[in-house]
């Protein structure tokens, strides 16, 4: 593909998906600026602003730089935290998105790529879920993500809204932006017991983080605009099956502990990725076992466990 070298602002660029996206952008020749509340990580070598993107100080980035495009990843990513702290969720998800969009509009940003979520489909009416499926909610997280989608469509800037399936992979913090893969992985590598909420038959569409990062980059390498697109594998993995794969690959021997289901958890989720394939000529290809093997190899290289 041919495209002009452009400056991309990545909000939440010090996070799990953010770091992978920044690396992929740099590898593809983009100039990258990161905005994040965290201190700059040592492995993130680009122009960096430690700032709350919902604050007035966020505008300073645009006063000091010409920003062509934005990949907006900054968010409170936890369903459980959104239920416990709905005001924080509103600030970190909806208020932040409104500030990003209004500032982007003021300074002539060309395109916004937004990280939304499968949570906006709630408990699906049919599977696999396509982008025409009605939106609903089981948590404040889903509400603020859906509201953010609507504000992005309203603000008048070209956009791509990606609804991510369950993202996992190298670098996911088991205590921060944790998904079930990271939590299980952390407990198993410490030979600690794993809790499974519900009966474990609930299933998800797990997508490896590098496939998500590639989708984010492709959104800026094509002329596709003003679309909502699922980013997924279109394959289901139950929590029990996930446990068994991790158990086999890590030589883990402790049986799981089953507990009550959690509020806000979706029972069944598979996202149709046909639109992603057709519009970007890209098919996410990393299956759950390959992704877990990659995680294991990385952690061995880091000396995290023998």
Q: How far apart, in whole angstroms, are the C-alpha atoms of residue 72 and residue 194?
A: 33
- The answer on pLDDT for 2 being more than 80 is no
Any bridge partners for residue 48, and if so which?
A: 34
Please give the pLDDT value at position 5: 64
Bridge partners for 8 per DSSP: 32, 69
Q: What is the pLDDT of residue 231?
A: 98
pTM of the model as a whole: 0.95
Three-state DSSP at 92 gives helix
- As a whole-number percent, the residues of the chain with pLDDT over 90 amount to 90
Q: What does the pLDDT look like over 194-231, one tens digit per residue?
A: 999 999 999 999 999 999 999 999 999 999 999 999 99
* Predicted pLDDT of residue 19: 97
Which helix (H) or strand (E) is 31 found in, with range? strand 31-36
Residue 272: inside a domain, yes or no? yes
What are the structure tokens assigned to 184, written together? 């299980």
Distance CA 136, CA 182 (A): 27
Radius of gyration for the chain, computed over Cα atoms and rounded to the nearest angstrom: 19
pLDDT band at 177 (very low <50, low <70, confident <90, very high): low
Domain residue limits at 181: 7-299
In a domain, 185, yes or no: yes
User: For the ranges 24-28, 235-239, 278-282, 300-304, which has the lowest average pLDDT?
Assistant: 300-304
Q: What is the pLDDT of residue 252?
A: 97
Average pLDDT, integer, range 149-163: 98
| Residue 249, both tokens | 């690959």
The stretches of the chain forming alpha helices (DSSP H) are 16-27, 60-64, 79-84, 86-89, 96-106, 140-155, 180-189, 209-221, 239-250, 274-280, 288-301
The mean pLDDT value for 2-9 works out to: 74
**pLDDT, average across residues 84-95:** 97
Q: What is the pLDDT of residues 226-274, one digit of tens each?
A: 999 999 999 999 999 999 999 999 999 999 999 999 887 888 999 999 9
Domain count for the chain:
1
Domain contains 176: yes
- Mean pLDDT estimate for the chain: 94
Asked whether residue 306 is assigned to any structural domain, the reply reads: no
Residue 4 predicted with pLDDT over 80: no
**Active-site hit among 121, 141, 164, 203:** 141
pLDDT at 287: 97
42 found inside a domain: yes
**Using CB atoms within 10 A of its CB, is residue 274 exposed (0-12), middle (13-18) or buried (19+)?**
middle
Q: What is the mean pLDDT of residues 51-76?
A: 98
Residue 116 inside a domain? The answer is yes
Q: How far is Cα of residue 258 from the mean position of the Cα atoms in its chain? A: 27
Residue 94: active-site member = no
For residue 134, the domain's CATH number is 3.40.50.720
Identify whether 304 is part of a domain: no
Classify residue 305: in a domain, yes or no.
no
């Amino acid at each position: 593909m041919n495209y002009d070298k452009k400056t991309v602002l990545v909000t939440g660029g010090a996070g799990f998906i953010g770091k992978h996206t920044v690396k992929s952008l740099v590898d593809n020749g983009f100039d990258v600026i990161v905005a994040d509340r965290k201190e700059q990580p040592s492995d993130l070598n680009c122009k960096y602003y430690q700032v709350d993107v919902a604050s007035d100080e966020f505008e300073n980035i645009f006063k000091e730089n010409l920003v062509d495009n934005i990949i907006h990843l900054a968010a409170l990513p936890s369903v459980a935290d959104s239920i416990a702290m709905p005001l924080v969720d509103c600030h970190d998800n909806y208020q932040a998105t409104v500030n990003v969009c209004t500032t982007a509009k003021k300074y002539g940003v060309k395109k916004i790529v937004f990280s939304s979520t499968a949570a906006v489909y709630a408990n699906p009416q049919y599977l696999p879920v396509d982008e025409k499926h009605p939106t609903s909610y089981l948590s404040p997280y889903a509400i603020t993500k859906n509201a953010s989608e609507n504000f992005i469509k309203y603000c008048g800037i070209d956009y791509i809204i990606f609804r991510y399936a369950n993202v996992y992979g190298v670098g996911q913090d088991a205590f921060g932006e944790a998904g079930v893969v990271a939590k299980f992985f952390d407990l198993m590598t410490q030979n600690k017991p794993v809790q499974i909420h519900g009966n474990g038959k609930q299933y998800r569409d797990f997508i490896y983080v590098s496939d998500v990062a590639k989708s984010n980059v492709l959104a800026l390498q094509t002329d596709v605009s003003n679309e909502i697109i699922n980013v997924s594998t279109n394959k289901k993995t139950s929590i029990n099956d996930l446990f068994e794969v991790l158990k086999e690959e890590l030589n883990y021997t402790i049986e799981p502990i089953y507990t009550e289901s959690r509020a806000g958890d979706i029972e069944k989720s598979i996202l149709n990725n046909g639109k992603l394939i057709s519009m970007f000529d890209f098919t996410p290809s990393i299956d759950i076992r390959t992704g877990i093997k990659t995680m294991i190899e990385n952690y061995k290289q880091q000396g995290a466990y023998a």
